[in-house]
Structure 1
Amino acid sequence: MPLIVRRIGICGLLNISSRVTRPTLSSVPIFCSSRWPAFAPRCYSKPIDHYSAEKDIIVKLLYNIGSRKEVEQYLRHFSSVESQKFAVIKIGGAVLTDELETLASALTFLNRVGLYPIVLHGAGPQLNQLLANVGVEPRYEEGIRITDHITLEMARKIFLSENLKLVDALERHGTRARPIPSGVFVAEYLDKQKYGYVGRITAVNKEVIESSIRAGALPILASLAETVDGQILNVNADVAAAELAIALEPLKIVFLNEKNGLYHGITGEKIDVINLDEEYEDLLKEPWVKYGTRLKIKQCKELLDGLPRSSSVAIISAGHLHKELFTDSGAGTLIRRGHKLFKYNNLDEMNLDKLRRILETEDRKVKSGHISVASYLRELQQKPKMTLYTDEPGQVLAIVVSDPANPSNPPVLEKLLATKTAVLNNVPDNLWNMIRKDYPTLTWLVHAQDIDGNLDGAWHFERSDGSLRRQQDGSTMFFYGIQDSDKVQHTLNEFGKQRSPPFDYQQRRA
C-alpha cells in the first residue's frame, strides 16, 4: 500500500511548516470607492450589488491575514449578534495623535464587511498640552483628574475637536460616521468637593448609539457625561468604555494603545492571552504585576465577570486590530474569562453526564449511530492507561491513551472534541498546551472527512512535527516529540500497516 510522507524534516521525515507572513493593515489597500458602508439601506444611490462586491473584495483581503476558515467563522460569529453588540473600541488620546490614519483605515476595514464598532475616545495628552499652553498644571488624586472650571472648559473644547477629527478622517476614507461627543452617558458627581466636575456614570442612553447605526454611520463617542439637569462632567475613558460594555454586552471590548498589548515585566515579552478563571490569582501575586498593568487586569476581571462568557477584552494597536479580531493567533493581548481545565485519570473521577453530553453533541461516530456512548465508555475502560481532559462547562474533551507495557509506542490522542463556542474562545488551544506538558510525545489520527478540503488541517500541522497520509482511506496521522529517526520510521510503518483507523479524532471549529 503506498504511503505519502507529507512533510520532511529533522529526522529525514519531518518538516515544521510556518504560516505565510501576513501583511499589516497599513500594507493592505482599502477599497473605498464609495463613502457608504457595505450594508447600507437601499435608499442610498449606489446599487446594493456594488456593496456586496465591495464586501467580497474586503473579505478576500482578510484571507491575507488568516485562513479562509478563520475569517469566515469570525465573520459569522460577529454578524450573528445585533450590530451594536459587535464591539466597543476605546481609543486613547495618543492613538488619535500618532496613528489617526491607521485607525481610520482599521475602522473602515471593519465597516466594509458590515460591522459597526462603537468607538469611544479619550484625549488625555491633548488636554494636558492645552492646559500647559494656558499655564495650568494637571492635578490628580488617586489616579483621577481633578477637574475645575478651567479644566472642564478645556476638556469640552478638546473632546469636541478630537471627536470631529476622527469623524473627518473616517469620512475621508469613505466611511460614514456620526460625531456624538455628548448625550450618551448620564452621571452624577463622583465627589464634587474632592474631584470637582468629575462624574460617576449612572446610565447609558443606548438610543443615541442605535440611531447612528440604523442610519449606517459609525457612532463616535467622547468620554463626557451630563447630569440629569444638564451639567457636563468629565469621566475616565476606560471607565466609560466599561459602562458602555455593561449596557450593551458586546462580543469584544477593545482597548487601543500604541504598545500593542501588555508585556511581561521580567522577560519583556508580549502576553498573548490571559485566562482569568485559571490565571488571575497567581498573576496578581507576580512581583512585576503592578501599577498600570495590575490596574488594567483588575478592571478587565471586574468587567468580564458581569458579561457573558463569550465576551472578551483585547488590548491591541490600531494597525493590528484586524488580525486580533479575525485570526485565532491574534496580535495583541487577549483577556477572557476562559474555562478552568480539569484532568482525570479514570472515568470514576469524571462527571459521566458531562462526558455523555459532549459525546452526543460533538462526536461524529456517536451522532451517526455507529457506536453508543455506553459502548464507547466500556471500550475506554479496557484501556491500560488513559487521561481525560475537559473544562468546567463541558465544551471540550480530550482523551489520551497509552500502554505502560509497551513504552516504545507513543501515547495516542484518541479523541479531541470541541463545541463552536469553545473554539471561538480558543479553549482547545489551552487544553492542547496542558496535554503537551503532560505528554512529551503524542500521535493522533484525523479522518479524511475531517481534514480533506478542510482548512482546519492547518490546525493539526501547526501542532505537529510531522504527518503521514494513508491513501487507502485518506486518514492522516500526526505526531510530535518523536526525535529518534528509527522511532519515527517505526511509528509511520505501524500506521501504514493498519487496515482501518483504530482511533477517532474530531476537531470542530465552525
Structure 2
Amino acid sequence: MFHVMKIGGSTLANLQPAFFEALTNRIQQGEKIVIVHGGGPEINKKLSESGLPLEMKNGIRITSTESLSCVKTALKDITNANLVERLNNEGISAQGLSGAEDYLLTCDFLDKENYGWVGNVQQVNTKIIQNVLDDGKIPVIASLGVTESGETVNINADTAAGETAAALSAESICFVTDTPGVSVNGEWMECLTITDILKSIVEGHISGGMVPKVEAAIKCLDLNIKQVRITDQTLSGTELLKEVLIT
C-alpha cells in the first residue's frame, strides 16, 4: 500500500536524524512512501530578492505571472533538489519530480481572478509515481501543476498531497510539521474527530497556521484515506478520525 508524506517548507529547512530514522524504518517495513513538499521560506526569499510582494489570501499564496517564476525556482530547483540530495546522503534513494512536468498533476485554475496562477488538481498521473517506486526510489514531488494547455501553476502543498494520496488510494497520509501534532487548550491530542476539530476552530482553540492543515486533513478523510496524521519528525502525532472508533 502507498503512504503519502507531506513536508512543509519550514520543516524541510530543519530536518533532524529522527525523521530519517523513522522514514528508513517505514521503508524497511515495506511501505511505499511518496513525499510531496512545499517551499514557503524559499519562495518568500526569492520574492524578496526579486522585489515582489508576498501576498496571501485565505491561506493561499496569490501567484502573479511575475511571482510564478520565483515559485518555480524555489520549489523545483532549490527545495526539491536539496531534499532529494539530503535523502540520498542519508542512504534513502530518492528521485525529484515536479507536478508540472509530464502532466503529473493536471490542474484547472482554482480562482484566477482572486489567486492568479494557482491550480486546483483535477488528475494525478499515478503511473509516473509507480515507475519511480518500481525503480526502488522514493518519489519527491514539488507542489507545482500544469493546466491542460500546458501552463504551469502553483498548488497548495497540503492540497497536492491530499489529491495525490486519494489518486493512489493511499493507506495513509502524514502531514509533517514543526509541532508534535494538534494542540487543543495547550494539550497535544492523540486523536481528534472531525466534529472535535470543527468545534475547536469555532472556539478558537485551533487557530493560525494549524487551521489550513486540519482542513486539508479533513478533506483527506472525505477522500476516504484511512489514516490521516499531523505529526512531528518522529512521524507520530495526532491521528484525525471521521468519527469516534467504537471498541
Larger RCO of the pair (alpha carbons < 8 Å, separation 6+): 2
Point out where structure 2 has 5 or more consecutive residues left out of the alignment: none
Q: Structure 1 residues 338 and 210 mapped into 2: Cα distance closer, same or farther (>3 Å)?
A: same
**Residue equivalent to 1:307:** 224
1:257 matched to 2:173? The reply is no
Per-residue CA deviation, residues 337-391 of structure 1 (Å, 9 max, x unaligned), is 2446xxxxxxxxxxxxxxxxxxxxxxxxxxxxxxxxxxxxxxxxxxxxxxxxxx4
1:237 matched to 2:153? The reply is no
Residue 111 of structure 1, aligned match among 15, 27, 33 = 27
The one-letter amino acid of 1:217's match is K
**Residue equivalent to 1:90:** 6
Shift of 1:282: 4.4
**Residue equivalent to 1:141:** 57
Per-residue CA deviation, residues 84-134 of structure 1 (Å, 9 max, x unaligned), is x2x110000011111165544432332233222110000011110121122
Residue 191 of structure 2, aligned match among 269, 273, 276 = 273
Larger Rg: 1 or 2?
1
**Residues 90 and 241 in structure 1, CA contact (< 8 A), matched pair in contact too:** yes
Aligned length: 243
SS, match of residue 92 in structure 2: coil
Point out where structure 1 has 5 or more consecutive residues left out of the alignment: 1-81, 325-331, 341-390, 392-427, 429-510
Per-residue CA deviation, residues 64-94 of structure 1 (Å, 9 max, x unaligned), is xxxxxxxxxxxxxxxxxx3xx2x11000001
The one-letter amino acid of 2:193's match is N
Residue 187 of structure 1, aligned match among 107, 126, 139 = 107
The one-letter amino acid of 2:167's match is A
**Residue equivalent to 1:335:** 240
TM-score, reference length from structure 1: 0.45
**Residues 89 and 255 in structure 1, CA contact (< 8 A), matched pair in contact too:** yes
SS, match of residue 207 in structure 1: helix
**Residues 105 and 173 in structure 1, CA contact (< 8 A), matched pair in contact too:** no
1:177 matched to 2:94? The reply is yes
* Cα distance in 2 between the residues matched to 1:282 and 1:159: 34
SS, match of residue 53 in structure 2: coil
Shift of 1:262: 1.2
Per-residue CA deviation, residues 424-448 of structure 1 (Å, 9 max, x unaligned), is xxxx4xxxxxxxxxxxxxxxxxxxx
* Cα distance in 2 between the residues matched to 1:141 and 1:241: 20
The one-letter amino acid of 1:273's match is C
SS, match of residue 183 in structure 2: coil
Q: Structure 1 residues 112 and 274 mapped into 2: Cα distance closer, same or farther (>3 Å)?
A: same
**Residues 104 and 169 in structure 1, CA contact (< 8 A), matched pair in contact too:** no
Q: Map of 1:264-413 to 2, 5 A cutoff? A: 264=184, 266=185, 268-276=186-194, 279=196, 282-307=199-224, 311-318=226-233, 320-321=234-235, 324=236, 332-339=237-244, 391=246
**Residue equivalent to 1:206:** 126
Per-residue CA deviation, residues 227-265 of structure 1 (Å, 9 max, x unaligned), is 11221100100111111122122221100011121112x
* Cα distance in 2 between the residues matched to 1:134 and 1:239: 27
**Residues 107 and 146 in structure 2, CA contact (< 8 A), matched pair in contact too:** yes
* Cα distance in 1 between the residues matched to 2:54 and 2:217: 27
TM-score, reference length from structure 2: 0.89
Residue 123 of structure 1, aligned match among 26, 39, 57 = 39
Shift of 1:303: 2.4
Per-residue CA deviation, residues 242-297 of structure 1 (Å, 9 max, x unaligned), is 11122122221100011121112x3x1211111336x4564455342344444433
Shift of 1:148: 1.5
* Cα distance in 2 between the residues matched to 1:282 and 1:190: 27
**Residue equivalent to 1:61:** none
**Residues 193 and 242 in structure 2, CA contact (< 8 A), matched pair in contact too:** yes
Q: What's the % identity of the aligned pairs?
A: 29
RMSD, aligned α-carbons: 2.1
* Cα distance in 2 between the residues matched to 1:198 and 1:287: 28
